[in-house]
Amino acid sequence: MSSKTAIISSFIEAAPPGELSNVVADIKTLVGDDLQSYEPAFRKYHEEQYTAVDVPGGSGKVLLSQYNSLGSNRYFDPTSGKSFAVSFPSLKTSDAESHSPATSNLDLIQSLQTAFSKSTIEHFPSSTIGVFPTGSDIAILIVANKYSPQNFWNGRWRSTYILSDSGKLSGTIKVDVHYYEDGNVRMQTEKE
Amino acid sequence: MSDPFDAALDLLRRLPPSQTQQNLASIISIAPNLEDDLLSSVDVGLAVKRCPKSGRDYLCCDYNRDGTSYRSPWSNDFDPPIDLDDAADLVPRGKIRRMEEELNKSIDVYRELYYEGGVSSAYLWQLDEGFAGVVLVKKSSGGAGKGGWDSINVFEIIEATSKRSAHYKLTSTVILDLGLRNDAVGGLELAGNLTRQEELDQPLAGLRDAEIESSHVANMGRMVEAMETRLRNLLQEVYFGKAKDVVGDLRSIRLLSEADQERRSHKEVISKMGGATI
C-alpha cells in the first residue's frame, strides 16, 4: 500500500476540471489542514492542466506549463518579457523580474501569441493561449475551460502543439469532461 | 469542519470512476475508522467467484460477505466455510431462502434474454419489518473496445397487513466502463455510474405462502427489468449526449462569429414578426 503522501498526491493530480478546491476541502477533512507537503503534487497538477495565473505587475494571464518553468517555482512569460514566482497551493504570483528567454525565435513567439489569441475566439468561447520556446522548437498551448457546477458538469480542452525548427507541426488534444448529477461520469480522451 | 465520511464520499464522486476500487482502498488506508461505513455505502465493480459445489459463477458484494468468505446463491454455502454459529444468522432459510432460489432462477433467465452472457446473482435477507434484497448483474467484454457493466439493484419490501399488496423500494446503480484505443479516435476512456430510485406498491396474488412468494419474485423481476431498461437509455443519453454537449461548449465546430450572426438575424426576424399586426 502506498504512503499517505503518494495517495493524497494521486488524488490531487486526478481532480476533475474546476473541482480542485472541492477535492482539497475533502482531503483537509480527512487528513488535516497542512497541505504544504503536497506542493509537488499541486505543481504537477497545474503544469499539466495549463492553469492560467495573473502576471504580477502586468496585464493578462499566462499559462503554467513544463515549457515555461524555470525551476524553483519560477515561470516566465515571453509576451511581457517577465519571470515571476508562483506559490503552491495558493497560486499567488509575486517577485516579477524582467526576463529574456534564451531563444532566437522571440519575434515569432510573440507574433504567434497575438495571432492565436485572435483566431481562437472563432471556436473557443473562452480560452487562454501560451506560446513558449522549448529547446529549438516552439510549443503552442491552448486551454479552454467551461465550468457549470450548478448543473453538475465541468470540462477542459487542452491542445499542445510543437512547431519544430524544420517547420513540422505535431500535437495532441486532450479533453476531460466530468458530469456528476446523481452519479459520476468522466470522459477522458487523447488524440494525436 | 465537515464529516470525514461525507468528505470521503464526495471525494469518490469527483475522482475518476474507473479507479473507484483503488481510491476506496486508498481512503480506507488513510482513514481506517471509515472502513465499514464506506464498504457498505460505496458501489464498486462486482467480483466473480466460482461456487465449488455447483460449479457456477456468482457475484460478490457486501450483502453476501462475512469477513473474507462469500455465500454462493446456488449452494447457499459460504466459501471458504465460516463458523457454524455465525452461519445460523447469516445463511437464509425457509421463506427467505425459497424466494431467493426462485429469484435467482428468474434473474438468470432475464440475464440471458437481455445480456446474452454475463453473470447474475440475487441475495435476500430478513428485516425487522419486511425483507430486503439485492439483484446483481455483471458483463464484461474485451478487445480493442473494452467494456464492463455492473448493475446493483437494492430492494426494501414491506408487506401490507392485509397481505394483498406490498410496498417495494428499489435503488439501482449501474457502473459502466468503456474504453477504446485505435488510430481514428486515439485513446478514449468513458466511465461512470448512475443511481436512480423507484418506489411502488404492487399487488400480491394468491392466499397460500407459496403463491405470495412467487408474487414477490415476479414483482421484483418486473421492477428490475423496467429500471435497468430506463438506466440503459439514460446512460446512452448522459454518457454520450452530455459529454458531446460539453465538448461542443468547449470548442465549437462551426465558426462562433457565424453562429452569432445567425442568432442576431433570427432575433431580428422574430422581433419584426412580433411588431406586425395580424
Supply the ipTM of this predicted assembly: 0.84
Distance (Å, whole) CA B60 – CA B52? 14
Question: Looking at the predicted structure, is the pLDDT value of residue B1 above 50?
Answer: no
Select the residue of A30, A122, A155 nearest B4 (Cβ to Cβ).
A30
Distance (Å, whole) CA A47 – CA A64? 5
Nearest-Cα distance to chain A for B193, in Å, is 5
Distance (Å, whole) CA A115 – CA A107? 12
* Burial class (CB within 10 angstroms; exposed 0-12, middle 13-18, buried 19+) of A38: buried
At A20 the pLDDT is 92
What cell was used for B257? 462569429
Full-model pTM: 0.82
Nearest-Cα distance to chain B for A77, in Å, is 25
CA triple B12-A154-B2, angle to 5 deg = 40
Of chain B, the percentage scoring pLDDT greater than 90 comes to 45
Average pLDDT on A133-151 reads 90
Torsion B246-B247-B250-B251 (CA) sign: negative
Cβ count within 10 A of residue A95 = 13
Average pLDDT on B82-97 reads 83
H-helix segments, chain B = 4-14, 20-30, 35-41, 84-90, 94-115, 209-235, 243-250, 256-275
Average pLDDT on B223-231 reads 95
What cell was used for B17? 470512476
CA triple A147-A150-A156, angle to 5 deg = 15
Distance (Å, whole) CA A154 – CA A188? 12
Select the residue of A14, A121, A144 nearest B15 (Cβ to Cβ).
A14
What cell was used for B26? 486508498
Amino acid at B77: D
- Cα-to-chain-centroid distance, residue A148: 19
Q: Are A40 and A69 in contact (CB under 8 A)?
A: no
Question: Looking at the predicted structure, is the pLDDT value of residue B71 above 80?
Answer: yes
At B175 the pLDDT is 92
Distance (Å, whole) CA B237 – CA B148? 18
Tell me how many residue pairs between chain A and chain B have CB atoms under 8 A apart: 149
Q: Are A189 and A175 in contact (CB under 8 A)?
A: yes
* Pairwise CB contact (< 8 Å): B14 & A30: no
The DSSP bridge partners found for residue B168 are B157, B200
Confidence of residue A2 (pLDDT cuts 50, 70, 90): low
Residue A172, SS3?
Answer: strand
At B245 the pLDDT is 86
Mutate to test the interface with A, among B5, B12, B15 (most CBs of A within 10 A): B15
Q: Does A182 touch chain B (CB under 8 A)?
A: yes
Nearest-Cα distance to chain A for B194, in Å, is 4
Question: Looking at the predicted structure, is the pLDDT value of residue B250 above 90?
Answer: no
Q: Enumerate the residues of chain A whose CB falls inside 8 A of the CB of residue B1.
A: 29
Question: Looking at the predicted structure, is the pLDDT value of residue B274 above 80?
Answer: no
At B275 the pLDDT is 64
Distance (Å, whole) CA A83 – CA B158? 69
Rounded to 10 deg, the angle between the B94-115 and B209-235 helix axes is 40
Nearest-Cα distance to chain B for A151, in Å, is 11
Instruction: Report CA Rg, chain A.
Output: 18
Q: Enumerate the residues of chain B whose CB falls inside 8 A of the CB of residue A153.
A: 242, 246
Rounded to 10 deg, the angle between the B4-14 and A20-31 helix axes is 150
Q: Enumerate the residues of chain A whose CB falls inside 8 A of the CB of residue B237.
A: none
Average pLDDT over chain B, rounded to an integer: 88
* Pairwise CB contact (< 8 Å): B252 & A123: yes
What cell was used for B247? 465538448
Average pLDDT over chain A, rounded to an integer: 88
Give B112-161 pLDDT, tens digit per residue. Answer: 999 999 999 999 999 998 999 999 999 998 877 888 999 999 999 999 88
At A42 the pLDDT is 92
At B277 the pLDDT is 55
Residues 134-153 of A with CB under 8 A from B: 144-146, 153
Residue A121, SS3?
Answer: helix
What cell was used for B92? 437464509
At B120 the pLDDT is 95
What separation in angstroms does the CA of A130 have from each of A134, A161, B101, B199, B232? 12, 10, 63, 53, 42
At B230 the pLDDT is 94
Confidence of residue A11 (pLDDT cuts 50, 70, 90): very high
Q: Enumerate the residues of chain B whose CB falls inside 8 A of the CB of residue A27.
A: 7, 11
Give B162-218 pLDDT, tens digit per residue. Answer: 888 999 999 999 999 888 888 877 888 888 888 899 999 999 988 888 889 999 999
Average pLDDT on A63-87 reads 89
Q: Where are the beta strands (DSSP E) in B142-220?
A: 145-159, 165-182, 186-203
H-helix segments, chain A = 4-13, 20-31, 39-49, 106-119
At B276 the pLDDT is 57
Element housing B119 (H / E): strand B119-126
Average pLDDT on A26-45 reads 87
Residue A63, SS3?
Answer: strand
CA triple A47-A31-B19, angle to 5 deg = 60
What's the start-to-end Cα distance of chain A, in Å?
Answer: 34
Q: Where are the beta strands (DSSP E) in chain A?
A: 52-54, 61-63, 69-71, 74-77, 82-87, 92-98, 128-134, 137-148, 153-163, 169-179, 183-191
At A43 the pLDDT is 92
Average pLDDT on A129-141 reads 88
